[in-house]
Chains A and B, each alone.
Chain A
Amino acid sequence: MKINDVILRTITKIIVFIILTFGVYLFLSGHNTPGGGFIGGLVLASAIVLLYLTRDIESIRKSLPFDFKLVAALGVLLATGTGFGSIIFGVPFMSQTFAYFELPIFGETELTTVTIFEAGVALAVVGVVVTIILSMSESEGA
């Protein structure tokens, strides 16, 4: 049974970009306003899931040629890596730090190590969610 999903497909084309932008926005704004690595990653993942729902897996795989297991592994590496990173600077494991910088375009900007950590969280979430959904949907054909 193949249902007619023209509307969904057409809307998805536009909406995926909005969701992706929103996900990135949530991730970046998380430090001071609602958002953060987990929710940002989840929104990004849901955008990708939406793509998979409307298109077939093969064509999406061509346009998004990542192994999402590796994405998740990279995320875990980043998250744990920031923990070990603090050791190099001689402070206890998982110490985070922040500072304010004067950047050319952004003006005074706060840069924190939490952002790296959160990026790891986001990548891990995206990788794991997509991996689970992909492997479940692939087993369907089998």
Chain B
Amino acid sequence: MFSVNFAIILPFIIAAFVPFIYRRFRFIHIGWFVMLVPITLFILLARLIPSVASGQTFTDTYQWIPTLDINFTTYLDGLSMIFGLLITGVGSLVILYSIFYLSTKESLQHFYVYLLLFMGAMLGVVFSDNLMVLYVFWELTSVSSFLLIAFWNHRKGSRLGAQKAMLITVSGGVAMLVGFIMLHTMTGTFSIREIISSIDGFTDHALFMPAMILVLLGAFTKSAQFPFHIWLPDAMEAPTPVSAYLHSATMVKAGIYLVARFTPVFGGDQVWFWTVSIVGMITLFWGSFNAVKQTDLKALLAYSTISQLGLIMSLLGLGSVALHIGYSTESVIYTQATFAALFHLINHSTFKGALFMVVGIVDHELGTRDIRRLGGLMALMPFTFTVAVIGSLSMAGLPPFNGFLSKEMFFAATVQISNADVFSLQTFGIVFPIVAWVASIFTFIYCMIFIFKTFLGPAQPEKLDKPIHEAPMGMLVSPLILAAFVVGIFFFPNLLGNYILRPAMSSVYPTFGDASNLTPSISAWHGFKPELLMTIGVVLVGAILYKFLKKWNPIYGLFSQEYTFNALYNNVLSLSEKGSGFVTRGYMTGFLRDYLAYIFGFFIIVVGGFLFYSGAFSIDVSTNAPIRLYEVILVAVMAIAAIAMLFAKSRMTAALLNGVLGYSIAIFFVIFRAPDLALTQLVVESVTTALFLLAFSHLPDWKKEKTTIKTKWINGVISIAVGVLVMLIGFSVLNYNKFDSISSYFEDAYELAGGANIVNAILGDFRGFDTMLEVVVLFIAGLGVYTMIKLKSEKEETKNENQ
């Protein structure tokens, strides 16, 4: 039985085996094995399409931390189905493409492990019902994106681009986490479905608005919305298969997913409507406007992706107005914006994926993707050219390609919204069709640039390092399949509409009843409506502007290079580096004794402060057992050893005296019948002594410390205060009764954990999680010591990391 949980876990499991397979079968490109994962998942998901189309949903829960309401619950409905199919479908094609794109000389095992990590994380994002789990997968996509952008980490640009993407998306993710926690505070649940069903009672809650803004921050940063779009062009340093997969088809659409998923929660609110629509519109315009001036084909596609993401985002904003009006025959027309968003989402993945692969082919075969060095490739690269034309014209919104259909629906939605009579749209609504139209003109222009500058015009073989030639067939398969989809969807759009988009519509509008009312019949021809006239206008004006591109091109020079968002980002980064460097240098003296003073000072203030504040200090010795003579003797021995340590003349003496303290404590444990503690203490003491002996020869000579009287006083006060405080805690613990005693739990250890040794029952069972993580920490510490020592001895061999 296929479960969605399994679909998420599978890529992670396979990722763990990739290095072994890689080592075992060096003669086969590892990508062939990895490709089986998305293909399998795609088939498994596709088999569920009919049941999802008939309105069925699949839920699967695995209890993770039930006490905190955090469970690994997955939910497969129409909306997550779209994304699941995109992730696995485009994933399969991208991996097939990457097999020919990346030579076996690259560190392929890393590449495919990262890619599988990303795939699993992305599936986790779209299938998770629990917000906490969603957040974890969300950040994991950022991390795997970071690793993939920095795949060629010998390049400085790759590393900086990866850092930028990571910083921006992770900050947005953290904001989103805070929003999730607010939602939990309001509704008392982390389950998205439960939040959707109960949110009506909380729309006036004080946290409703902050939660909305924070969740939107997460979505906007991830989907590269203005002004957070700056990371996406820099992320193009990644290998092209990664750009095609993460930075156009899937990861950047996670924000779109989030907005669509949360539309039933926040949609209907005026702030949501305006924020999502306006940000989307600005992004749409700014992306397409900037794409025109790019000379690097990949940068052009990056800005184009930003622009298209803005388009989808704004459509989701426009569609949310239907939730404000509520279900009626009039409001259904506004849901068409959401329908167009979902439709365009799929179309964009097909044509943009194909275009990225085309750029990858050009870059791979000719060694450049600069349009100033390219041209005239049409005759020599016929297949690549075909795909490029199909993809570009679809992106420009021309028939007979799927982009035409969704672009028309987009225009129709903007025209309809300008006639709506809510949210003062009668006054401002006219902005939407105008911005959409102007942005589409720029879209048309950069699509023309993509075709004409690369494939038409005179060839410039003298500017290329390699002769112009067609790519190997294997590399062309994936873009050709995507191009086939671009054309196929145009001719059979309603197949997609009925099976894929309709169930997704009912996920976005759960209260609107039967989704078949929300699913229009998509047709290429629907009379001389405004949207068709807008398209014709786009083509006419776009063609003229393209013709006179050189005349108005200088307009881009008007924009200042100093006051850009990139400059802001760089300044913030360098300032925070300087600032934290300044603060850190202020207290990191390099002396262990100073750090000890900080630690103990903190201990005194926090622990002592808390005990004092909560009034927990109490000394009551009436119930204590009487003190026996040998206990007094032991304490005396320890006190003498501790005081003598202050006057020790050599390091060895001090170490031995420290040993006296440790062994005396072990004897105390024996007296108080804690044999395992005593044993542990003894062994630890012995091993540390051995360690000390090893480190002994490395230590500098024991010198009399030159400290001022003031420092001595401070240190004295701190040490005495710590001693007194620990003693007081010891006394207070005996009488502290603010919490229920948990001892009954441990007394039943034999029944609960099957072990008579309650210490071990605690370590291995009741608090097993702690122990597990402690083991991991211990391991990391061990590796840390190992690497630091190894690094020190290999310091002479310095390598230049920039190539």
Contacts and interface: CB of A to CB of B under 8 A. Distances in A.
Contacts of A110: 754
B768 A117 contact: yes
A142 B793 CA distance: 7
Interface in A11-53: 26, 30-39, 42-43, 45-46, 49, 53
A46 B687 contact: yes
Contacts, number: 155
Given A34-B675, A69-B782, A140-B698, 6 more contacts: A30-B757, A30-B760, A36-B763, A79-B776, A128-B779, A140-B694
B534 to A, nearest CB: 54
B772 A132 contact: no
Contacts of B684: 42
A38 B782 contact: no
Contacts of A133: 690-691, 694
A38 B680 contact: yes
30 contacts: A26-B679, A32-B757, A37-B763, A38-B763, A42-B680, A45-B687, A46-B690, A69-B782, A72-B778, A72-B782, A79-B771, A83-B768, A83-B769, A87-B62, A90-B62, A96-B768, A112-B754, A114-B754, A114-B755, A121-B775, A124-B775, A128-B781, A131-B783, A131-B786, A135-B789, A136-B694, A136-B785, A139-B792, A139-B793, A140-B697
A53 B690 contact: yes
Given A34-B676, A132-B782, A79 B765 contact: no
A112 to B, nearest CB: 6
Interface stretch (B63-71, B197-205, B327-335): B63-71
A71 B750 CA distance: 31
Nearest to A139: B789
B48 to A, nearest CB: 22
B756 A31 contact: yes
Nearest to B769: A94
Contacts of A38: 680, 763
B601 interface: no
A138 to B, nearest CB: 8
A136 B789 contact: yes
A92 B756 contact: no
B785 A135 contact: yes
Interface of B: 62-66, 675-676, 679-680, 683-684, 686-687, 690-691, 694-695, 697-698, 753-757, 759-761, 763-765, 768-769, 771-772, 775-776, 778-779, 781-783, 785-786, 789-790, 792-793
Main secondary structure of the interface of A (DSSP, over half): helix
A87 B658 CA distance: 45
Nearest to A94: B768
Interface of A: 26, 30-39, 42-43, 45-46, 49, 53, 69, 72-73, 75-76, 79-80, 83, 87, 90-94, 96, 98, 110, 112, 114, 117-118, 120-121, 124-125, 127-129, 131-133, 135-140, 142
Nearest to A81: B772
A136 B693 CA distance: 10
B690 A33 contact: no
Contacts of B778: 72, 124-125, 128
Contacts of B764: 36-37, 96, 114, 117-118
Nearest to A132: B785
A87 B695 CA distance: 44
Contacts of B782: 69, 72, 127-129, 131-132
Contacts of B771: 79, 117, 121
Contacts of A45: 687
B772 A94 contact: yes
B66 to A, nearest CB: 7
Contacts of B695: 136
Contact of B755 (A73, A112, A136, A142): A112
A27 to B, nearest CB: 11
A107 B683 CA distance: 33
A93 B779 CA distance: 21
B63 to A, nearest CB: 5
